[in-house]
Amino acid sequence: MGYDGYGTDWNRMKFLFDYFPILCFFIAYKVWGIYVATGVAMGASALQVSIYWLKHRRFEKLHVITLAFILLLGAMTLLFHKAIFIQWKPTIVYWIFALLLFSSHVIGSRTLVHRMLNDKIILPLKVWSRLNLSWAIFFLLLGGLNLYVVYHFSTNAWVNFKLFGTLGLIFVFIIGQALYIARHAQHTKKTEPPNKLP
């Protein structure tokens, strides 16, 4: 959801790093099945958080939230031998993101997206609000869509959707957001001073 400002190569590497546990889960599922894949994803997520901390000496909130729920729901999946627990994980994480984004409209002077990207992009406050709201709605709907696939399709179809469907939807949504930002950012640079909020 963010923009790092380090260039295209860095963004590609970060994208792959962010989705490392999902890729590991997908490969392990295709070879060994859902329960081995769950264990692999738990290990991959823990490794992801550890590598990020060793490199930056801080934690990425997205990684930590994902790790917490993949460990909890993954352990329940392995303990009770029911895949439904790990299948709920994306929905819970997406809905937590949606809740944080919605909450930032009423808590604090700036929305979450504004705080994340304000030093990279200059936009009017109403545009920041729309972007934040659109991300909140997107994650809310994506969580619901995950559950629809879980309860109406096979586990194999869900695993394919988890990788290809989810990433495809996020990619399309980001393109739409980028086009919207580009239009308003250009207008802002010409007619409005930078936003200066405490």
What residue spans define the domains of the chain? 8-191
Range 109-128 average pLDDT? 87
15 band by pLDDT with thresholds 50, 70 and 90: low
Predicted confidence at residue 62, as pLDDT, reads 86
| Cα–Cα distances in angstroms (integers) from residue 91 to residues 63, 71, 85, 159, in the given order | 15, 15, 11, 14
**Residues 132 and 175: beta-carbon distance below 8 Å:** no
Pairwise CA distance, residues 49 & 107, whole Å: 28
Predicted confidence at residue 127, as pLDDT, reads 92
Q: Is pLDDT above 80 for 177?
A: yes
Q: Is pLDDT above 70 for 176?
A: yes
Q: Is pLDDT above 50 for 88?
A: yes
Q: Is pLDDT above 60 for 31?
A: yes
Q: Is pLDDT above 60 for 191?
A: no
Give the pTM: 0.84
Q: What is the per-residue pLDDT across 142-151, written as a single tens digit (0 to 9) for each?
A: 999 999 999 9
Predicted confidence at residue 11, as pLDDT, reads 54
State the helix-helix crossing angle for 34-56 and 8-18, rounded to 10 degrees: 140
Q: Is pLDDT above 70 for 120?
A: yes
By C-alpha distance, which of 133, 59, 151 is closest to 97? Answer: 133
Pairwise CA distance, residues 158 & 153, whole Å: 7
